[in-house]
Structure 1
Amino acid sequence: MAATVRPGRRLIVLLAVGVGVMAALVGVGLYGLTLAPTPSTPTTAAEPTTPAESTVDPEPSASSATLPPIRSTSDAESFARDAAYALINWDAATDFDPADYAQVIVDAGDPSGTETAGLASDVRTYLPTAEAWLTLRTYGTRQWLTIDEAFVPASWSDAVGQAAPGQLLPGTIAYTITGKRHRAGIVGTQAQETSRPIAFTLFIACEPSFDECRMLRLSEVDNPLR
């Protein structure tokens, strides 16, 4: 068994190819976790930093030493919602960079390390590149998520039924998140804001495999299970 992922470890594994439970599902054609294109630098940033209405804590200030972890819970839906906020919410005006935000998700992953490389690769597709981040920082760009729905997709039961014995960890479940991705910042002297629909699926394992829910893999952005 691989070593437990240590908090604070930098994401060397971001370039690795995913393997493990969800990769096995890909192998039998149940669901493709193909990586999405790397996000490009937006032509306009968006309006400054009025917090979105959500149940999560606000983004940390630039003086914070670390980003807050995903809240520990054995409730799959609650974990999925908190993980979705952690995945989408970021602030380029702080001292954090994309690897810091990605690490929060990886630290909430399978403690055996089996899914670490695949999860890290999945997360990388949700975040701006390092080059794009520098541009976003000049605009003071901030991104946040508002959730419309969090639900177990109907197709998940089919996936579970087709999985080979032992292919899925006990307590594995999928949650699809739908909502809006907002960006806000300053372009020149003008405050601007943009938003667009977003949807994705989180694959999570809870009890009895783990006392607290852990992240396994992510779908590509806007290609969720339905």
Structure 2
Amino acid sequence: MDQPAEPRRHRRLLIAAIAGGLALLVAVGVGIYGLVRGPGDTRPDPARSGTVATSPAAPSSTPAGPARLPATGDAEAFARAVAEALFTWDTLSGAAPADYAQVLADVADTSEAGALASDVRAYLPTAEAWAQLTTYQTRQWLTIDTAAVPEAWTTAEAQAAPGQLPQGAAAYTITGTRHRSGIWGTEPVEASRPVSFTVFLVCAPPAPEFRVGLCRLLRLSELDNPLR
């Protein structure tokens, strides 16, 4: 015997409502994943398990372009400034990835400038990914937990032959949290994930006319593959 039309219609409406809800959840998940990982970013990224939450260290909401790194002879302070410059960008600032890369190129040691440019590009979104992130009004920043000379570098210094390492060379492994925020639809969303990497630099002794020396950037390790 055929079932009454009313229960069948009720079941169809229920199934449609469930399907619509699942589609909405998938859409929201895709948007948050794009903010966490970044469209077009094919590098391995543990952010798939990143949390979506309000960050206590969120910078000013006013779009800001790339800022010049401070001139300093303090190796740790320089490494921290490099780390923040490497991870701080805003798609609404009017600047492009190349502009954010330039502030790091400006403090590069000439002996490694070409290789360093490749290192920096690996950390920044591609032009295609940047265009997509702009549609989400995405911005990114870094909170640093630790900046320390890794044991592997101390061992390398002890075992290096005379002249094998540049005078004043140093390495600092940075650990911290990368934050991203943006707009998905009409809702603000934020995501974060832990990161680690090593900054290689060289700090020259002060010239006679200056009281302090200046540090220059040599290389960057692969993201999440630092010296330990």
* TM-score, normalised by the number of residues in structure 2: 0.71
Q: Distance in 2 between the 1:219 and 1:59 partners?
A: 30
Q: Distance in 2 between the 1:61 and 1:191 partners?
A: 16
Q: Residue 59 of structure 1 contacts residue 91 of structure 1 at CA under 8 Å; is this kept in 2?
A: no
Q: Residue 72 of structure 1 contacts residue 212 of structure 1 at CA under 8 Å; is this kept in 2?
A: yes
Q: Counterpart of 2:193 in 1: which secondary structure? A: strand
Is 1:132 aligned with 2:129? yes
Is 1:99 aligned with 2:98? yes
**Counterpart in 2 of 1:172?**
169
Is 1:89 aligned with 2:88? yes
Unaligned runs of 5+ in 2: 1-39, 208-212
Q: Residue 197 of structure 2 contacts residue 222 of structure 2 at CA under 8 Å; is this kept in 1?
A: yes
Larger RCO, structure (CA 8 Å, separation 6 or more): 1
Q: Residue 179 of structure 1 contacts residue 199 of structure 1 at CA under 8 Å; is this kept in 2?
A: yes
Q: Distance in 1 between the 2:62 and 2:112 partners?
A: 28
1:39 to 37, 41, 48: 41
Deviation of the 1:73 alpha carbon = 0.6
**Counterpart in 2 of 1:198?**
195
Q: Residue 40 of structure 1 contacts residue 132 of structure 1 at CA under 8 Å; is this kept in 2?
A: no
Q: Residue 98 of structure 1 contacts residue 128 of structure 1 at CA under 8 Å; is this kept in 2?
A: yes
What are the equivalent positions in structure 2 for 1:43-122 lying under 5 Å apart?
Answer: 52=57, 61=63, 67-110=66-109, 113-122=110-119
Deviation of the 1:168 alpha carbon = 1.5
Q: Percent identity?
A: 55
* TM-score, normalised by the number of residues in structure 1: 0.71
1:160 to 149, 153, 157: 157
Q: Deviations over 1:75-108 (max 9, x none)?
A: 0111111111000111011211111111111111
98-107 vs 163-172, greater mean Cα deviation: 163-172
Is 1:183 aligned with 2:180? yes
Greater helix proportion: 2
Unaligned runs of 5+ in 1: 1-37
Structure 1's 134 and 116: CA in aligned 2 closer, same or farther, altered over 3 A? same
Q: Distance in 2 between the 1:60 and 1:217 partners?
A: 31
Structure 1's 104 and 219: CA in aligned 2 closer, same or farther, altered over 3 A? same
Q: Residue 53 of structure 1 contacts residue 146 of structure 1 at CA under 8 Å; is this kept in 2?
A: no
**Counterpart in 1 of 2:220?**
218
Q: Counterpart of 2:111 in 1: which secondary structure? A: coil
Deviation of the 1:160 alpha carbon = 1.8
Structure 1's 100 and 50: CA in aligned 2 closer, same or farther, altered over 3 A? farther
| Corresponding letter in the other structure for 2:57 | A
* Structure index of larger Rg: 2
Q: Counterpart of 1:114 in 2: which secondary structure? A: helix
Q: Counterpart of 1:100 in 2: which secondary structure? A: helix
Q: Residue 173 of structure 2 contacts residue 198 of structure 2 at CA under 8 Å; is this kept in 1?
A: yes
**Counterpart in 1 of 2:147?**
150
Deviation of the 1:162 alpha carbon = 3.4
Q: Counterpart of 2:133 in 1: which secondary structure? A: helix
Q: Distance in 2 between the 1:59 and 1:192 partners?
A: 13
Q: Distance in 2 between the 1:171 and 1:60 partners?
A: 38
Q: Residue 40 of structure 1 contacts residue 129 of structure 1 at CA under 8 Å; is this kept in 2?
A: no
